[in-house]
Structure 1
Amino acid sequence: MSDELIVTYVENICVMTINRPQARNAVNGATARAIAEAVDALDERDDLSVGVITGAGGTFCAGMDLRGFLDGDRPSIEGRGFAGLVEQPPRKPLIAAVEGYALAGGCEIAIASDLVVAAETAKFGLPEVKRGLVPTGGGALKLHRQLPYHVAMELLFTGDWLTADRALQYGFVNRVVPEGAALDAALELARTIAGNGPLALEAIKRIVRESQDWSAAEGVRTQREIADPVFRSADAREGAKAFTERRAPVWTRR
């Protein structure tokens, strides 16, 4: 694993910390490859249920490392996009814990996440237009689905910031917490999620993420194809049994 990313494990939660504070955690090629490796491990390991991504030193991520870009170092991976993540997020739930700036590609990491916990001083933005660039890591494609259309277009056209409080107002973030508390709050949320059925979590995420491209008839059929194996699983029986026995379920992912 690269020094640009610190990976730690808290119970069944994988915490990925971008560790380039001297560059405001701007992502270079090594960081992107490390994130992709950590995401693969999150999906492959049965003992992990939720991922949390954050940044070291009070900043989430300032986007692409422009110095590296000028030297030919690309912070993207074919088929996975910026930071090895935005085009192919993990199958398991991912929470962004945001302190400070989440700009450009950093904002697009938040867009690619399933939930966002932000410090009250956090700022989100897609300033690519100010540099004559286009936010192709999900900003132009997805922001208008996560914010009201006119709000999204203002941010895309002006490159201005969205404060944490305003982001909460629009439903772009799930929690706003005091400065310095984003990771702890994200872990609290992750623990709640991680206590639920892992097969169900993955199925729900897949349905939500993929269904925007389904027709009505296709949606009914494809949702059933994804969900039926979960209903037939040992975990589904364990969930029902644990409820009747008034105890916490013991998931096996089978």
Structure 2
Amino acid sequence: MTLSNVITARRGAVLEVTLNRPKANAIDIATSRELGEIFTAFRDDPELRVAIITGAGPKFFCPGWDLKAAAEGEAADADYGKGGFGGLQELRGLNKPVIAAVNGIACGGGLELALGADIILAADHATFALPEIRSGTVADAATLKLPKRIPYHIAMELLFTGRWFDAEEAHRWGLVNRILPAEALMQEARKMADDLAAGPPLVLAAIKEIAREAEDMKFQDAMNRINASQFETVERLYRSEDQKEGARAFAEKRDPVWTGR
């Protein structure tokens, strides 16, 4: 399906989402709302298990907020639709893996969009920055997330200075999982997505919910919630046919057949 600013394609259980706003794939309000609708539909579609987000063209993943639209009157605190800016940051209940395939420049809200994914793959020519400080705004999602993802002092330097850094540095700090030649980026993203899509969807959902909800909890508090059946995905998993199938397949020395039920 082709929308005005975003291209989507289904490959079996995998949804590919491509930002498609020449020249730079910047996100205005309309694009953000499209992304929110797309990721909401992905969340709610039982046939889809994994998503990939990338950018069209060889140069830009996404530079974030469309400053030309801002200059024409779009407010920084506007309603960006479901899931907030870019559709991922605040989307509740998204318990499916999302892979960001960063194919070029990812700065500002574009880097925040990548941070909204669970796994980040980067082309070897990709570059990153959080330049909001230079335009008098704050990278709010990155300010919350980055100090938890990479060393605090490095995160604060990047936020305070807005300086650019390359894929090698991003990998060194653990911000990206892998660096790949540009021509191999989507091939690797698709292989990883297919591997995840072949896995047990209820287990993947439980992992994602626990990791998200327990991020600021003490270990024992999180364990107490699990043991008290207070995580919906965990409770669903342990009452599922898939959980029984996993045990049967192990006992029978065969590959399990996951149904998500």
Contact 1:99 1:180 (8 Å CA) reproduced: no
Contact 1:130 1:159 (8 Å CA) reproduced: yes
1:191 aligns with 2:194: yes
> What's the TM-score, normalizing by structure 1?
0.93
Counterpart in 2 of 1:161? 164
1:16-165 to 2 correspondences below 5 Å: 16-22=17-23, 24-58=24-58, 59-73=60-74, 76-77=79-80, 80-88=83-91, 90-136=94-140, 138-165=141-168
Letter in structure 2 aligned against 1:39: F
Deviations 1:139-168 (A, max 9, x none): 111101111111111111110122111111
Deviation at 1:76? 5.0
Contact 1:2 1:30 (8 Å CA) reproduced: no
- Can you give the 5+ residue segments of structure 1 that lack an aligned partner in the other structure? none
1:161-240 to 2 correspondences below 5 Å: 161-224=164-227, 225=229, 226=231, 227-240=234-247
Letter in structure 2 aligned against 1:71: E
User: Partners in 2 of 1:130 and 1:81 — Cα distance?
Assistant: 23
Deviation at 1:243? 3.0
User: Partners in 2 of 1:195 and 1:238 — Cα distance?
Assistant: 14
User: Partners in 2 of 1:141 and 1:102 — Cα distance?
Assistant: 18
Counterpart in 2 of 1:250? 257
Contact 2:149 2:175 (8 Å CA) reproduced: yes
Letter in structure 2 aligned against 1:130: R
- Can you give the 5+ residue segments of structure 2 that lack an aligned partner in the other structure? none
- Over 3 Å counting, the alpha-carbon distance change for 1:31 and 1:248 in structure 2 is farther
Deviations 1:84-139 (A, max 9, x none): 22122632111100011010000001111100000011111100011121102x11
Deviation at 1:34? 1.3
Superposition CA RMSD, Å: 1.8
- Over 3 Å counting, the alpha-carbon distance change for 1:76 and 1:96 in structure 2 is farther
Q: Which moved more, 1:227-236 or 1:103-112?
A: 227-236
User: Partners in 2 of 1:91 and 1:12 — Cα distance?
Assistant: 14
> What's the TM-score, normalizing by structure 2?
0.90
% identical equivalent positions = 41
Letter in structure 2 aligned against 1:29: I
User: Partners in 2 of 1:35 and 1:246 — Cα distance?
Assistant: 42
User: Partners in 2 of 1:171 and 1:37 — Cα distance?
Assistant: 30
User: Partners in 1 of 2:99 and 2:151 — Cα distance?
Assistant: 21
User: SS in structure 1 opposite 2:260?
Assistant: coil
User: Partners in 2 of 1:179 and 1:252 — Cα distance?
Assistant: 35
User: Partners in 2 of 1:216 and 1:247 — Cα distance?
Assistant: 35
Contact 2:122 2:185 (8 Å CA) reproduced: yes
Letter in structure 1 aligned against 2:238: F
User: Partners in 1 of 2:136 and 2:221 — Cα distance?
Assistant: 40
